[in-house]
Amino acid sequence: MKSAKAEAHGQTPAGHEPQPRMVTVLIMGKRHTVPEHATIMRAIEYAGHQIIRGAGCREGFCGACGTIYRLPGDYKIHTGLACTTLVKEGMSLTQVPAVPMEKAIYDLEKLTPDVTTIQQLYPVVFRCVACNTCSKACPQGLKTMDYIQAAMRGDIAMIMDLSFDCVACGLCALRCPAEIVQHKVGILGRRLYGRYLSKHSQHLDDRIDEMHAGKFDAEYATLMSMAKDELSKLYYARDIEA
């Protein structure tokens, strides 16, 4: 029996699961009827496709599923990640199986975290016309253009911060009228920051020195020679940092 309290909260959904309402979408030009609450990815699968190129993590991290679409009565080209964007009535869509581009090859150890590196590796950045098309195309809602502008100034920390959440779907690069490869500039900026600009941790060095000096060897030996029940006792008695 449910408690009176639970009843009062009304914690059960009213009635049964409704049948999903359906919408019509055009997948690569072909009409399909799919559930209204489907993501683009599920809609494509519902239509019977086995996705090979165009799905990776399925949760919005990998950028494998870049999709472009149009909506009825709307001239705009929209962009989104198929795994997290919901379908809409009349949506006309296609996934982008790959984004052709050249990555600069470099030795991180030989770079400096400043504008000369950008000039050397991605001179195309300086073609930016500040149209903001890249930011509008970003399915993550990043300020892509701002980090490209930061790259032109050699502001590596800003590239790092603004591109941190980039999933490298490459939709920005496909839409850019100046043919910049924004997401590649992003990863370069982040690596430069991590390698050269991030504050140094003394504790980390100390710990590694201790390890090399064999400080924990004896303790390891003791732990590893313990029988299960001894180890278990020690484990359940260990103090836990708040």
Interface residue list for ligand FES (CB under 6 A):
55-58, 60-65, 81-83, 167
Rounded Cα distance between 86 and 149, Å, is 32
Under the binding rule (CB under 8 A), the answer on residue 100 touching other proteins is no
**# binding residues, other proteins (CB under 8 A):** 83
What would the x/- binding string for other proteins be over residues 120 to 159, using CB under 8 A? --------------------xx------------------
DSSP string, the chain: ---HHHHHHT-S-SSSPPPPPEEEEEETTEEEEEETT-BHHHHHHHTT---SSS-SSSSSSS-TTEEEEE-TT--PPEEEETTTPBP-TT-EEEE-------PPP--GGG--SSHHHHHHH-GGGGG-----HHHHH-TT---HHHHHHHHHHT-HHHHHHHHTT-----HHHHH-TT---HHHHHHHHHHHIIIIISPP-HHHHHHHHHHHTTTTHHHHHHHHHS-HHHHHHHHHH-----
* CB nearer to ligand FES: pick between 139 and 154: 139
Minimal distance, residue 24 CB to ligand FES, in Å: 23
Rounded Cα distance between 217 and 195, Å, is 31
Under the binding rule (CB under 8 A), the answer on residue 160 touching other proteins is yes
Residue 81 binds which of ligand FES, other proteins, none (CB < 5-8 A, kind-dependent): ligand FES
Under the binding rule (CB under 8 A), the answer on residue 89 touching other proteins is no
* CB nearer to other proteins: pick between 58 and 88: 58
Residue 78 binds which of ligand FES, other proteins, none (CB < 5-8 A, kind-dependent): none
Contacts to other proteins from residues 49-88, by CB under 8 A: 49-53, 55-62, 64, 84, 86
What would the x/- binding string for other proteins be over residues 27 to 46, using CB under 8 A? ----------xxx-xx--xx
Residue 19 binds which of ligand FES, other proteins, none (CB < 5-8 A, kind-dependent): none
Residue 76 binds which of other proteins, ligand FES, none (CB < 5-8 A, kind-dependent): none
Under the binding rule (CB under 8 A), the answer on residue 14 touching other proteins is yes
